[in-house]
Chain A
């Protein structure tokens, strides 16, 4: 760690003798750090309004953010090599705990997600959000890319197992995130376009068959899922109110703390899954664009880190982690604005709540580790 890369000239990413020294010692990537801090800060401002000016809630969230940043820092210190060695065990532990949740887990809000470990309550599906990209990246990096058929098939099974376990809890949102993280590894590993095309065509062809096989009530559920406004007492109510909130925000918004939809209780879950609607109502299109720009900046930096990574494992891992983050963002905003069906996914780094925050920041810790542990080879 004290080895100075100076002698190798400008190929080095960090320069311990400059003011960046401290950042290098702690394996911090400055652009990413700044992007994340801005996002979390913006989030707290919106949360203050969304929580009904509840300072206590904002404080609690701030404490969580600080904790999550420490988790990120801690993980950034772990070298990618170590991460790689741990991958299979982390994955195995994650899957075992998912099974345990289904068997012994606690039921909260109608779904079984929590595992009570005596002192702490733990949500294994959160850990799996990281364990699956780690595992698939490890598995595919074992051999030359692009992966052969057999590898691909095994990788698909490795993705499907935890996804099904999570979907069974039932937690469709997380299942979707985990599935997408795994699939992104496969995509980045270079599976052929022909295969991607075949899968897409196959899926489209299978849909009518599945539809035909379904019972009436199952079809009804799918229809409600696709068009929640058919169900104005359930999911549809959220969407109707959230669209009114966003639309009435206009270009400039109604101003901080002045969103009538949000402040008058019309908008449900406004400090958690639907916080984006509060932002859109109070800060308008301009606020939305600023938020999206921040997200895009973080995602761009993540993708850059992935392309600069030096081996297959870190490349695949970094790429899939940042794309998983993107899916988070897109599923949430798409849902709140009525583009996508309602799936319970929070707005990353902004929604109130600690569990997903810690997982996300742990992922960013890995990105920083990947970027700052690079060996000095010409790339």
Chain B
């Protein structure tokens, strides 16, 4: 039996091996047939091609898409620029040519460094830039000597330019030369003719749309490698234009309103999450980066104590301070922990049961009896200490998480910070410590571990204005093909925060209205006669004051002064703009942050009504 099986198996194998052998022979015959076809039948054809292999395929880069603001103002354009390029293959002694060239046109060390670096990455017959951004004088100067330099040529290309430079950097980002690292992440053949790629901001997020697809030309070249004629052509597909929700005039107002302060403003359209203004102060000139920033300029930017490279609106993490109070109040109402008219007596401090530590109110003498509305309007800390204590950290974490705190908003910009919404699990994980009840109190007034980004605050404020519809903030409104005019909208995405009682939301919003409208409100000074604003001030501690010390603003170094915050939306009846302002070391939210918000809201809501003196200055400057 055993033997029989073995024999049967062996016979079966033999059959299969024969089939496999036949397959092999068939495949080899197929190959031979292919070789006959190439080498005998079409031999003449290929011989001709090989003898005249002067056909070169050259990539034709697509034109990069333009970027416009919501009113059609051009924010990113392509300008012709002239550069001096060398084709190494056509140059006999590169060092010699470089030194001769240096006598005709100024060539700096940085130019040389870039040249050798780029040369390594290119094929010998590709030209490599030695000088960029030639002035008309330099162009003329070289033209005179051109005959002495075979293989060296002036090349015109379109270079990215940002006419509103510093005003747009933190949103648009910028393009820079394609680096080795970029190459590993993109389809290299699609970038065969492209020198620049989005490095940051909208330029990076929408890179593939802005870039388009490469075209190519089959050209005939002569012995010197110069083009004789085009044989075949596939035009490139130009990049798509991008239209933002952003309003550059508003952006400008916001930046002006900041003055010398550092900080961030994010303004969002609550009805679709579109970002209307997105400012991080100070900014920097993106045009510096387009042709490779010089080391000196870069060092200066990096060492600047005001950190202009830092995108505060997107990455800055600040304690929300009292701006969290409306959210806290809503949590209390929605969980049924407090009623609208629940009253708490504020003696100026709060104590945990069985503990002597006094959690102080900002007002030493206390606010007296407080209901929710008064507590929001006057920003009473004690009321919210107690509310936070009654809610507990777990419910706080759950409720505030629904407003996007502690997580990336998902905006269409890269590098966003998550902020930090603390929880028991977080503390256990990151510090291996239990959660202490006192930390819940501190969290209840937006201090302690709790960190938010200005973007998160604006999006959350929009959700309050919007009755719980949380829209993912986004900068880009729609894409528009320049050729066909076809428009691809970026649809808003929203999530509904679960609600238990509609009037809870109205109660909290009324509290926010009274922050501005009531004579006791912390932001009463920004009251407007044209429309009503709902808001909440906040002050975020930068350093901690000891238990019995007083915080004296004037005595403290400016960098240790509190951050001023303000969140708001307007008009109350039909919210069109939600805004978050953080003024670093600005002191009180009501006095520094709120007036900035007011100016931005004014500029947005009244832009078409009363063209005042100021607003004429706000008109976008045409590109020069």
A binds B: yes
Interface positions of A (Cβ within 8 A of B): 107, 110, 144-146, 184, 187-190, 231-234, 237, 243-251, 260-261, 264-266, 280, 284-285, 288-289, 292, 295-296, 299-300, 303, 306-307, 312, 315-316, 319, 323, 326, 330, 333-334, 337-339, 379
Chain B residues near A334 (CB, 8 Å)? Answer: 31, 34
Chain B residues near A323 (CB, 8 Å)? Answer: 20, 24
The complex places the Cα of A306 from the Cα of B20 at a distance, in Å, of: 12
The stretch from B35-43, B316-324, B441-449 touching chain A is B35-43
Chain B residues near A339 (CB, 8 Å)? Answer: 30-31, 34
Chain B residues near A246 (CB, 8 Å)? Answer: 35, 38-39, 46
Chain A residues near B451 (CB, 8 Å)? Answer: none
Chain B residues near A316 (CB, 8 Å)? Answer: 13
Chain B residues near A264 (CB, 8 Å)? Answer: 53
Cβ of A109 to closest chain B Cβ, rounded Å: 9
The complex places the Cα of A316 from the Cα of B13 at a distance, in Å, of: 8
Closest 3 CB pairs of A and B: A247-B46, A234-B189, A248-B50
Cβ of A324 to closest chain B Cβ, rounded Å: 11
Contact B9 A144 (CB under 8 A): yes
Given the contacts A233-B189, A244-B50, A248-B43, A303 and B31 also touching, CB distance less than 8 Å: no
| B14 to chain A: closest residue by CB | A307
Cβ of B64 to closest chain A Cβ, rounded Å: 19
Q: 30 A-B Cβ contacts within 8 A?
A: A188-B13, A190-B12, A232-B218, A233-B192, A234-B188, A244-B49, A246-B46, A247-B39, A247-B45, A249-B39, A251-B40, A264-B53, A265-B124, A280-B39, A285-B36, A285-B39, A288-B39, A289-B32, A292-B28, A295-B28, A296-B24, A303-B24, A312-B13, A315-B13, A323-B24, A326-B24, A333-B31, A334-B31, A337-B38, A339-B31
Contact B17 A251 (CB under 8 A): no
Determine which of A144, A184, A237, A280 lies in contact with B57 in the assembled complex, contact meaning CB atoms within 8 Å: A237
Chain A residues near B40 (CB, 8 Å)? Answer: 250-251, 285
Contact A188 B31 (CB under 8 A): no
| B188 to chain A: closest residue by CB | A234
Contact A232 B57 (CB under 8 A): yes
The complex places the Cα of A237 from the Cα of B58 at a distance, in Å, of: 11
Contact B17 A307 (CB under 8 A): yes
The complex places the Cα of A249 from the Cα of B47 at a distance, in Å, of: 8
The complex places the Cα of A228 from the Cα of B216 at a distance, in Å, of: 15
Chain A residues near B25 (CB, 8 Å)? Answer: 296
Contact A260 B50 (CB under 8 A): yes
Q: Is B225 an interface residue (CB 8 A)?
A: no
Chain B residues near A243 (CB, 8 Å)? Answer: 38, 46
Determine which of A247, A260, A296 lies in contact with B43 in the assembled complex, contact meaning CB atoms within 8 Å: A247
The complex places the Cα of A292 from the Cα of B35 at a distance, in Å, of: 11
Contact A288 B189 (CB under 8 A): no
Given A246-B46, A261-B53, A303-B21: 17 more A-B contacts, CB < 8 Å: A146-B12, A187-B16, A188-B17, A190-B9, A233-B189, A234-B188, A244-B53, A246-B38, A247-B38, A260-B53, A284-B39, A288-B32, A292-B32, A296-B25, A300-B21, A306-B17, A330-B27
The complex places the Cα of A184 from the Cα of B17 at a distance, in Å, of: 10
Contact B12 A145 (CB under 8 A): yes
Contact A145 B9 (CB under 8 A): yes
The B interface, classified by DSSP as helix, strand, loop or mixed, is: helix
Contact A188 B20 (CB under 8 A): yes
The complex places the Cα of A107 from the Cα of B188 at a distance, in Å, of: 16
The complex places the Cα of A264 from the Cα of B50 at a distance, in Å, of: 11
B: contact size bracket: 35 or more
Q: Is B10 an interface residue (CB 8 A)?
A: yes
What's the A-B contact tally at a CB cutoff of 8 Å?
Answer: 134
Q: Is B214 an interface residue (CB 8 A)?
A: yes
Q: Is B212 an interface residue (CB 8 A)?
A: no
Contact B46 A319 (CB under 8 A): no
Q: Is B5 an interface residue (CB 8 A)?
A: yes
The complex places the Cα of A300 from the Cα of B21 at a distance, in Å, of: 8
Q: Is B263 an interface residue (CB 8 A)?
A: no
The complex places the Cα of A284 from the Cα of B40 at a distance, in Å, of: 10
Chain A residues near B57 (CB, 8 Å)? Answer: 232-233, 237
Cβ of B233 to closest chain A Cβ, rounded Å: 11
Chain B residues near A237 (CB, 8 Å)? Answer: 57
Contact B46 A244 (CB under 8 A): yes
The complex places the Cα of A288 from the Cα of B35 at a distance, in Å, of: 8
Within 8 A of A (CB), among B495-509: none
The complex places the Cα of A305 from the Cα of B434 at a distance, in Å, of: 70
| A295 to chain B: closest residue by CB | B28
Cβ of A124 to closest chain B Cβ, rounded Å: 21
Contact A319 B5 (CB under 8 A): no
Contact A187 B20 (CB under 8 A): yes
Contact A247 B47 (CB under 8 A): yes
Cβ of A198 to closest chain B Cβ, rounded Å: 17
Determine which of B15, B20, B188 lies in contact with A303 in the assembled complex, contact meaning CB atoms within 8 Å: B20
The complex places the Cα of A316 from the Cα of B214 at a distance, in Å, of: 49
Give the residue among B15, B28, B188 with the most A Cβ atoms within 10 A. B28
The complex places the Cα of A330 from the Cα of B20 at a distance, in Å, of: 14
| A377 to chain B: closest residue by CB | B6
Chain A residues near B587 (CB, 8 Å)? Answer: none
Cβ of B124 to closest chain A Cβ, rounded Å: 8
Chain A residues near B15 (CB, 8 Å)? Answer: 190
| A184 to chain B: closest residue by CB | B20
Cβ of B236 to closest chain A Cβ, rounded Å: 11
| B39 to chain A: closest residue by CB | A285
Chain B residues near A146 (CB, 8 Å)? Answer: 12
The complex places the Cα of A249 from the Cα of B13 at a distance, in Å, of: 41
The complex places the Cα of A102 from the Cα of B355 at a distance, in Å, of: 54
The complex places the Cα of A310 from the Cα of B25 at a distance, in Å, of: 25
Contact B34 A144 (CB under 8 A): no
Contact B216 A285 (CB under 8 A): no
Q: Is B62 an interface residue (CB 8 A)?
A: no
Give the residue among B21, B36, B45 with the most A Cβ atoms within 10 A. B21
The complex places the Cα of A189 from the Cα of B31 at a distance, in Å, of: 28
The complex places the Cα of A220 from the Cα of B39 at a distance, in Å, of: 31
Cβ of B41 to closest chain A Cβ, rounded Å: 9
Chain A residues near B24 (CB, 8 Å)? Answer: 296, 299, 303, 323, 326
Contact A266 B216 (CB under 8 A): no
Contact B43 A250 (CB under 8 A): yes
Determine which of A233, A244, A303, A330 lies in contact with B216 in the assembled complex, contact meaning CB atoms within 8 Å: A233
Q: Is B608 an interface residue (CB 8 A)?
A: no
Contact A110 B12 (CB under 8 A): no
Chain A residues near B34 (CB, 8 Å)? Answer: 334, 337-339
| A252 to chain B: closest residue by CB | B39
Q: Is B530 an interface residue (CB 8 A)?
A: no
The complex places the Cα of A324 from the Cα of B509 at a distance, in Å, of: 73
Chain B residues near A188 (CB, 8 Å)? Answer: 13, 16-17, 20
Chain A residues near B36 (CB, 8 Å)? Answer: 285
The complex places the Cα of A245 from the Cα of B46 at a distance, in Å, of: 8
Cβ of A316 to closest chain B Cβ, rounded Å: 8
Cβ of A136 to closest chain B Cβ, rounded Å: 14
The complex places the Cα of A93 from the Cα of B59 at a distance, in Å, of: 45
Determine which of B10, B17, B49 lies in contact with A248 in the assembled complex, contact meaning CB atoms within 8 Å: B49
Q: Is B548 an interface residue (CB 8 A)?
A: no
Determine which of B20, B42, B218 lies in contact with A319 in the assembled complex, contact meaning CB atoms within 8 Å: B20
| B89 to chain A: closest residue by CB | A265
Give the residue among B15, B17, B25, B45 with the most A Cβ atoms within 10 A. B17
